[in-house]
Amino acid sequence: MSKVSEGRGAWFLKHAYLWAMLALIFLPFYVMLVVSFKDNTQFYNRTWAPTWPLHWGNWLEAWDTVGVYIANSVFLAVTATLITLVAAVLASYVFGRYRVPFGDLFWAGLIVLMLMPGVANLIPLFNLMKRLTLLNSLLGLSVVTAAGGQVFCLYVLRNFIEDMPKEFFECARIDGASHLQQVIHVVIPQCGGIISALAIMQFVGAWNSFILPLITIRDTELLPLAVGLYRLQGAYVKQWGPLMAAYFISAVPLVILFAFTMRFFIRGISEGAIKG
Amino acid sequence: MATPWTRLKRYPALLLLIIVYVAACVVVIGNVIRGSGGAPGTGQKKVLRFAHWQLEPGIRNAVDALIADYEETHPDVEVRQILIPEEGYFRWVNTQLIGRTAPDMIECGLGGPVAWSLWPKFYARYFLPLDRYVEQPNPYNKGTQFENTPWRQTYFDEMDGGYEDTLQSYYRVPLSAFTVRLYYNKDMIDEVWGETFPATYEEFIELCEKLVEHGEQRGRELVPIAGSGYNFRQFFQTYQAAMTAPYLDRLDADYDGSVSRVEAAARLYSGQVQMTEAPIRANFELVRELSDYFPQGFMQLDRDEAVFLFLQGYSAMITTGSWDYQSLGVQSEFQIGIAEIPLPSKDNPRYGRHVAGPRTEAGIRGGFPMAITRFSENAEQALDFLQYASSLKKNEELNQAMYWIPAIRDAEMRKELKPFAPRIEGYSTALNYDGPGVELAYNQALPLYLSGKISYEDFAEGLYEAYRRDAPHGVREFIRNNEQTLAQQMRFAAVRRAAIAGAPGAEAAMSGDSELQYKSLIEVYVTQVASRANEIRVWAESAAESAPQTPEPE
Amino acid sequence: MARERVRFSQIKRYWPLYAMVVPTLVLVGLFMYWPAVSGVWHSFYRWDGDEVATYTGLQNYGRAFTDPKFGYAFVVVGILFVASLFKMIPSIVTAVVIHRITSDKARYLYRLLFVVPMVIPWMVVLLIWKFFYNPIVGLLNSVLNTTHLMDVLVWANAWLVKAGIVDSAAFVANKSPAWLGDPDLVLPALIFWGFPWIGIIGVLIYLSGLEKIPRSVYECAELDGVGWFRKFLYIELPLIATQVRINLVLMIIGVLKGYGLILVLLGDDGGPAGRGLVPGLYMYYNAFIRREAGYACAMGILLFFLILALTVINNKLVRVEK
Amino acid sequence: MGRRRFAAVILIAAAAALAGCGKVTGTADLNALLTESWRAYSTGDFDFAEDTFRRAAGNPDATAEQRYGALLGLATTYHWSTSPDLSKARESYLELAELGGDQPRRQSVLGLAQIDLAEGKKAEAQLGLMQLIKDFPDSLEANEAALHLADSYCDPTWDEAQASGFALPSDEQMQRGIQVLQDRLESHPDNPLAGSMHVMIADQYIQLKEFPKAVDHLLMADKEGVEGVLTRVILLWRVARIAEKELKDYELAEQYYERYVDEFPRYVLIYRVMKSLERVRALRTAEES
């Protein structure tokens, strides 16, 4: 990296720019946090500055409404991510190492599917789910979400496995490892970074999924977070405090997830970007 | 050798994730089991679902109380509410109907012009016609004065609110009724004005002035009336009805009791009725005066924003329906008073002599209408539940808890709701200003006039020009579209006739007695033919009278 | 790297391999290929999304070509697309600025800080923006009012009206503009959304590209006295060109396909006067509100071909540059 | 990569080409199919109704009755769907007539006449309707035919030559329409549509401003029994209002205002009715004293 010292002005400018951007990016946090302690009167009179007394009750109220959405979203996101990754790792191992019949056609189809606008096949998908009685079911939603995540994961993982040195697999095979064992002992440790980055992206994707649950989930107690929050804001009289508290709470699980996995994620993205 | 456990301990995040996931699974599985009426094999309950968009605070609890009562007498049934916000309600219903996952009972209506044309199709295709049941007594009325009264006739509106005109059939079970009133911040008005709310328009304006002053004194802006476009319309319609009522006798040439849009447009087009006539002018000038006391740009505010302004004391008054009574009461930190929209007194020099009386509420129909889905596994049970909810006693209890007006005749409403009791006295609007073809011009010019950008003369002149320019085409289009309604009667008459004429399958496809239905369809058809002929006659005569004079060659 | 070839005849030996592909095949085949094929199929039908379907040949496509709303939807999406080209700039700038921070620790810290907002769920971000745009309690109007930027806007708007460039006033003195309620403001609001438009994944991807730049290059540049902008133009930009291209492709697809954002901000029908109606939303509207699912499918297929064409063009253009 | 993508596009295009071969599968039982079709018709699914009716009509196993039903359904669907196809409806009605038998012929003639009316061929339509009334004087269809025939004389027609866009019927034409209905009422006084016929006659008299006759017919309609709420509410109001304003027959006015109050205590006009009732009563007492 450039060690040549720069002018004070340039240094200041760079940092000032970054902090300004950070301030703007973090603004929603501030808004959520400040408003979440207000009742509507405080909110109306002084929307943007902290006010006393703090209404802690808002948080309890918010938890009561979003708690179940969070549980649903955790279930949805984890299940979907698991299914996606297990299927994708297995398949990319095959596609990355072998040329199977019709593999290329399948591959071309995948790319085309990425371009297909969601709605065009949303209605047929909806009808398919209806026939498989997967409507109004979180498990069904997880499976469909997992299918949607396949394409991207396959695409990235296959490139990775293709580029892995053949010797790794050869050694394992000589040791008498089956294909499955090769996946577990060679692929997963070697691609750990990218797999965890993909896992996080899948998780976040499922956490944010909106249109499909909006259409397929009927019962309020089965709604994932995004749709639940969307419905909350449709109430006739908004209680801004609890609403903002609910928004904040819904970010907490991701905060925890990222606290533990941030390093993998940054590394994974960087690796992935280089390969891509 | 590392056991899985020691390995896990190395990854606290993974451990945490597993714990959270297991907890989430427990919650989800619990909800799924409860959703299907208990674990399989343990005396599963029938689960009825009840979807509506009444998210006003307090409504959910009131309905839950009714459900609890019902479940007590029907231990094998569980009823669940599904509340969907108004925005997106129609889309939700639509997808659930396609997916066959629709709840057993669905509140009907809502959704804009597109939806209005689709609802009849939905009724016919997805919902249970109730004609068979409405003529039978409601079993839950046993032991009351309605023991032997047909269900339909226990309604204050004879179940008009459940009748689908286009299909000539009953599909909905209304549970409540609504009217619109002026709500005010009693604490503030008591302080500024005094105990008795203005009964006349003159006092009302005085009150508004005082409120503005009060706002200046306390150093924060106070807008007397929290208004959105929606709220403003309520005001406008009240005064429109009051001031145009006498036009009925003058303009109703065929004595059918109403002046249709074409009839009105024809007169405004020909100048037989002029916007500068005193009553019409009074109507607009009054509203113009009033709009000074609305927030700026009120036509663009939403309903919930207006309510928010009122609750926060930014405004002292709001017009809204009885459906908001409880929610405003619960959320406000001040007392709420209810009043009628005040009319000018008889001796008001400018408006007094043009005021016929208040706007009538005689024609209101039952609201909160529920329909039963045809493919529901428990349709019978759902019907039973709705009959329970619309029985004299339970409907009274339900509406008392919701602070709404009961839909059943003789059911007592809450004392607090007295001011909302539908007012039979009064008049309906007899003259519409926005005739066919000039809607856009009218809707664009009105805000300009209300905000003082153009004078009344300019407004009237502009509107007259718009009539001269756009009405001929608009009226023709309107009449052409209305021919669809004629076709609609014939469409149903044709299938009834086919049924009477013994075409196989036709009788079985329709509900109700075909001969009776046929007769009544033809009656309606004849009536509509006549009113069309009359509209055209009025229009043609007006047009001939005021045809642009082609200069005679001299 | 050469991959081993597996033939059908060797199925006995390689059956575990086939077994390993089965989950993916089932998932993708059932939930992605089948709906896609079914969508193409139904685009030739008058279909209400439920049971009733009547074969109508190319009627749906003919209708799409003459539907002014569908055409308008492409205008909207075109505007949004051009806008999002500009909205890529902040991410690139931010990545470069972070990259040029000399201290390793500070660099890592910034990277971390920029990742943090990713934890806010997408829906929450949208709903908060919806709240920012609220005419009465929204942040945007109060910022504009306190900074008196609103007066500037009102003045500019009045001038534009006078000059005959626009015909209606979106900003009027003493009135709070309803960003999502005024037909004239809907598109600006959709463009401004997400300010300052820093996509963290984009920043990370660019950063990883930038990190491949050898130190020596910078040192040489420094010795030659190359300015900061030329440094960016000649050293940094070429190195992240590939990443920019990837992002561009993803963005094209995203903008053309996306409508969740508009659905949340403006509702089913694209907001006031349908000004925010993008093709995706219009399809959605036709499928789930108007119940013309066959028509929606046909529009989807048309959109697909457009995306395909744009992607191919993009690939060609960038290759030439190389 | 490019070639692969191309291959996939071809694949999808092939699937699209195949799409045309699909057909909605039908119900085995023809009567059930017909019921299904009529239901589809009444719920506005005209495409579906058209499909199934056509399939039923083309079914070689269909009985004569089923064929009649299917053809009638098909014609009706073409005729009355929201986007009607009158030429196809005409064909189907003609085909219906070829089946022979009274029932099909009556339906066919009535349908054809209505199509003629819709297409502006008044003379043909009138001829057909008169023929129907003459050939099947006792049929239900003849009643409806009489109504349509009368309407064809009295109806204002589109006429772009006029400034208003419409040509109004002359007084003679209206009298002729009235005559048609009166003839029918004379020969079949108790037909189920008698009430509607009287209402229609009254409508014409109101247009002609011959109020005493209008009221007479309204009263007769009332006696025949008018059940439709919309029609009835107008009928009561009209009798009372015309009696009060035009005939100055306050007794009749009072009677009908009272009935209005009895029967429609919740209708929009009720307050006006009550006010009028007061006024009429006052006038009557003034008259008597």
Q: Chains touching chain A at 3 or more Cβ pairs under 8 angstroms?
A: B, C, D
B312 and A40 within 8 Å at the Cβ level: the answer is: yes
Percent of the residues in chain C that have a pLDDT greater than 90, as a whole number: 1
A71 and B101 within 8 Å at the Cβ level: the answer is: no
Q: What is the mean pLDDT of residues B455-472?
A: 89
pLDDT at B10: 64
Quick: pLDDT tens for D69-80: 999 999 999 998
Residue of chain A nearest D11, judged by CA positions: A109
Q: What is the mean pLDDT of residues A211-232?
A: 89
> Chain B interface, mutation test: which of A79, A212, A236, A261, most B Cβ atoms within 10 Å?
A236
pLDDT at residue C155 is higher than 90:
no
CA distance A272 to A269: 5
Q: What is the mean pLDDT of residues C297-319?
A: 81
Nearest-CA distance A9 → chain B (Å): 43
Q: What is the mean pLDDT of residues B252-270?
A: 89
> Could you tell me the pLDDT band of residue D13, with boundaries at 50, 70 and 90?
very low
* DSSP classification of residue C236: I
Give the closest of C176, C269, C291 to B118, CB-based.
C291
Which chain D residues touch A112 with a CB distance below 8 Å?
Answer: 5, 8-9, 12
* DSSP classification of residue B426: S
More reliable by pLDDT, B512 or C262:
C262
Q: What is the mean pLDDT of residues D54-77?
A: 87
Give the closest of A87, A119, A154 to C284, CB-based.
A119
Where residue A213 sits, what CATH number does that domain have? 1.10.3720.10
Q: How many domains does chain A have?
A: 1
Nearest-CA distance B370 → chain A (Å): 18
Give the closest of C41, C46, C51 to D19, CB-based.
C41
pLDDT at D178: 93
Q: What is the mean pLDDT of residues D45-65?
A: 83
Residue of chain A nearest B302, judged by CA positions: A236
pLDDT at residue D45 is higher than 80:
no
Residue of chain C nearest A96, judged by CA positions: C3
Return residues 4-43 of B near C (CB < 8 Å): none
C45 and D19 within 8 Å at the Cβ level: the answer is: yes
Quick: pLDDT tens for B137-172: 999 988 888 888 899 889 988 888 888 876 667 889
pLDDT at B113: 61
CA distance A3 to A10: 14
Residue D269 inside a domain? The answer is yes
Q: Residue ranges of the alpha helices (H) in D64-166?
A: 64-80, 86-98, 102-118, 122-135, 140-154
CA distance D218 to D211: 10
B498 and D154 within 8 Å at the Cβ level: the answer is: no
C30 and A147 within 8 Å at the Cβ level: the answer is: yes
D38 and B509 within 8 Å at the Cβ level: the answer is: yes
- For chain B, the domains span 28-176+364-420
pLDDT at B300: 58
Return residues 227-246 of D near B (CB < 8 Å): 227-228, 230-231, 233-234, 237-238, 241-242, 245
A112 and D5 within 8 Å at the Cβ level: the answer is: yes
> Could you tell me the pLDDT band of residue B384, with boundaries at 50, 70 and 90?
very high
Which chain B residues touch C49 with a CB distance below 8 Å?
Answer: 98
Quick: pLDDT tens for D110-165: 999 999 998 888 899 999 999 999 988 888 889 999 999 999 999 888 888 888 88
Pair type for strands B223-226 and A98-99: unpaired
Which chain B residues touch D226 with a CB distance below 8 Å?
Answer: 523
CA dihedral C149, C153, C154, C160 (to 10 degrees): 160
For chain A, say whether B377 makes contact (Cβ under 8 Å).
no
Residue from D244, D237, D239, D226 nearest D267 by CA:
D237
Give the closest of C50, C178, C267 to B300, CB-based.
C178
Give the closest of A72, A137, A236 to B304, CB-based.
A236
Mean pLDDT of chain A: 82
Residue of chain B nearest A232, judged by CA positions: B85
For chain A, say whether B4 makes contact (Cβ under 8 Å).
no
Q: Are C259 and C61 in contact (CB under 8 A)?
A: no
Backbone angles phi, psi at B438, to 5 degrees: -105, 10
Mean pLDDT of chain B: 84
Give the closest of B55, B84, B95 to A236, CB-based.
B55
Which chain D residues touch C55 with a CB distance below 8 Å?
Answer: 19-20, 22-23
For chain A, say whether D17 makes contact (Cβ under 8 Å).
no
Residue D242 inside a domain? The answer is yes
Which chain B residues touch D26 with a CB distance below 8 Å?
Answer: none
Beta bridge partners of B78: B47
Mean pLDDT of chain D: 84
Identify the domain containing residue D278 by its residue range: 227-289
CA distance D102 to A201: 74
Give the closest of B426, B472, B523 to D228, CB-based.
B523
More reliable by pLDDT, D45 or B123:
B123
- For chain C, the domains span 63-133+186-321, 137-178
C-alpha R_g of chain C: 25
Residue D248 inside a domain? The answer is yes
Residue from C286, C257, C291 nearest C274 by CA:
C286
- The CATH architecture that domain B28-176+364-420 belongs to is 3-Layer(aba) Sandwich (3.40)
Mean pLDDT of chain C: 81
Q: Chains touching chain B at 3 or more Cβ pairs under 8 angstroms?
A: A, C, D
A255 and C42 within 8 Å at the Cβ level: the answer is: no
Residue A7 inside a domain? The answer is no
C38 and A178 within 8 Å at the Cβ level: the answer is: no
Greatest CA separation for chain C: 81
Nearest-CA distance A112 → chain D (Å): 7
C196 and A24 within 8 Å at the Cβ level: the answer is: yes
Residue from A234, B133, A90 nearest C26 by CA:
A90
Which chain B residues touch C269 with a CB distance below 8 Å?
Answer: 112
> Could you tell me the pLDDT band of residue A131, with boundaries at 50, 70 and 90?
confident
pLDDT at B296: 66
For chain A, say whether D4 makes contact (Cβ under 8 Å).
yes
Percent of the residues in chain A that have a pLDDT greater than 70, as a whole number: 93
Q: Are A94 and B66 in contact (CB under 8 A)?
A: no
Backbone angles phi, psi at B173, to 5 degrees: -115, 100
Residue of chain D nearest B120, judged by CA positions: D43
Pair type for strands B169-170 and B163-164: antiparallel
Angle between helices A8-36 and C89-100 in degrees, nearest 10: 120
Select from 1.10.3720.10, 3.40.50.1820, 1.10.260.40, 1.10.760.10 the CATH code of C63-133+186-321.
1.10.3720.10
Q: What is the mean pLDDT of residues C274-282?
A: 85
Q: Are A119 and C280 in contact (CB under 8 A)?
A: yes
Ranking B3-7, B235-239, B370-374, C235-239 by mean pLDDT, the lowest is B3-7
CA distance B123 to B168: 11
Quick: pLDDT tens for B184-211: 988 888 888 888 888 889 889 989 988 8
Angle between helices D30-42 and B456-500 in degrees, nearest 10: 160
Residues 6+ apart with CB under 8 A from B102: A218, B51, B93, B96, B126, B373, B375, B376
Q: Are D146 and D197 in contact (CB under 8 A)?
A: yes
More reliable by pLDDT, A11 or D223:
D223
Backbone angles phi, psi at B48, to 5 degrees: -105, 135
For chain A, say whether D12 makes contact (Cβ under 8 Å).
yes
> Could you tell me the pLDDT band of residue C318, with boundaries at 50, 70 and 90?
low
pLDDT at D60: 82
CA distance D151 to C235: 86
pLDDT at residue A276 is higher than 50:
no
pLDDT at residue D237 is higher than 90:
yes
> Chain D interface, mutation test: which of C34, C41, C56, most D Cβ atoms within 10 Å?
C41
Quick: pLDDT tens for B60-102: 889 999 999 999 998 889 899 998 888 788 889 988 998 888 8
pLDDT at residue C322 is higher than 60:
no
Nearest-CA distance B321 → chain C (Å): 23
> Chain C interface, mutation test: which of A19, A21, A69, A126, most C Cβ atoms within 10 Å?
A21
Ranking B216-230, B295-309, B449-463, B522-536 by mean pLDDT, the lowest is B295-309
More reliable by pLDDT, B247 or B329:
B247
Give the closest of C40, C42, C54 to D47, CB-based.
C54
Which chain B residues touch D144 with a CB distance below 8 Å?
Answer: 493, 497, 522
For chain A, say whether B36 makes contact (Cβ under 8 Å).
no
ipTM of the complex: 0.79
Q: How many domains does chain D have?
A: 1
D73 and B505 within 8 Å at the Cβ level: the answer is: yes
Residue from A169, A209, A213, A215 nearest A189 by CA:
A169
Instruction: Say what the pTM is.
Output: 0.80
CA distance C321 to D3: 22
Which chain D residues touch A109 with a CB distance below 8 Å?
Answer: 8, 11
> Chain A interface, mutation test: which of D1, D3, D4, D11, most A Cβ atoms within 10 Å?
D4
pLDDT at B464: 92
Greatest CA separation for chain D: 105
pLDDT at residue D25 is higher than 60:
no
